[in-house]
Amino acid sequence: MNTPSTRILVGQVGRVFWMRVDGKGTHLNSLQARNAFQGVMARGVHDLVVDLERCPMMDSTFLGMLTGAALSVKKDASGGTLSIVNANQRNIQLLTSLGLNHILDLDVEGRLWASERAQAARALKICEEAAACSKEVQTQHILDAHQTLSGISDENECRFRDVIDFLEKELHAQTASSPVPA
């Protein structure tokens, strides 16, 4: 689900899947972005670019989703990459302080994917909305994102421990209160 002022634009530019975040990258649109990444990776696309030129900030859920996508393409035998382009100083600081610059390509000089940059504007379309999901599914997604983010460094594990504990309790409470299917 997009926030009112955020759009996720996606498109194929040659062998590259290009995603532009127009607005804030948050827990409200990270499931949509994750689904888009999973869809193209399932079709064999292994080079992913996230364009943050119009993204003023990202929350930890969105950052965790990016971490998961970066780890997925790194694990792939085809040697794919997840590149971040056009990030502002705030987002660069977030990505580096959490150690994501060690698992994805953070292009601060504007050198990566030079020929694809011009083509991207013509190729992008609004990303398909994530299907409506239950509170449990959304909470599980947020928990997964934070666990992934905390798994890349001891610092992150300490930083997100309380959030993860809270989300685990929240998920347990949601699951306990859900009716059991007959």
What are residue 146's DSSP bridge partners?
none
Residue 4: pLDDT above 70?
A: no
For 36, 117, 161, the CA distances from 151, given in Å and listed in that order, are 23, 32, 11
Say what the pLDDT of residue 181 is.
Answer: 57
For 160, the 3-state DSSP assignment is helix
pLDDT tens digits, one per residue of 151-165? 999 999 999 999 999
Asked whether residue 174 is assigned to any structural domain, the reply reads no
Return d(Cα 94, Cα 108) in angstroms, integer.
13
- 127 lies in a domain? yes
89 domain residue, yes or no: yes
Q: Is residue 178 part of a domain?
A: no
List pLDDT tens digits, range 101-113.
Answer: 999 999 999 889 9
| 144 lies in some domain | no
Residue 117 within any structural domain of the chain? yes
Lowest mean pLDDT among 7-11, 34-38, 176-180: 176-180
Number of domains within the chain: 1
Range(s) of the domain holding residue 74: 7-131
- Strand-pair category, 16-22 with 7-13: antiparallel
Q: What is the CA radius of gyration of the chain?
A: 16
User: Which CATH number does the domain housing residue 41 bear?
Assistant: 3.30.750.24
Please determine, for residue 78, whether its predicted confidence score (pLDDT) is greater than 80. no
Q: Note whether residue 165 is domain-resident.
A: no
Give the pLDDT confidence score for residue 2 in this predicted structure.
45
In a domain, 150, yes or no: no
**Mean pLDDT lowest among 76-85, 91-100, 159-168:** 76-85
C-alpha neighbours within 13 Å on the C-beta side of residue 133: 18
pLDDT given for residue 180 in this prediction: 58
Q: Distance of alpha carbon 121 from its chain centroid, rounded?
A: 20
Q: How many CB atoms lie within 10 A of CB 161?
A: 12
Dist. CA 50–CA 33, nearest whole Å: 10
CA 117, distance to chain mean position in Å, is 20
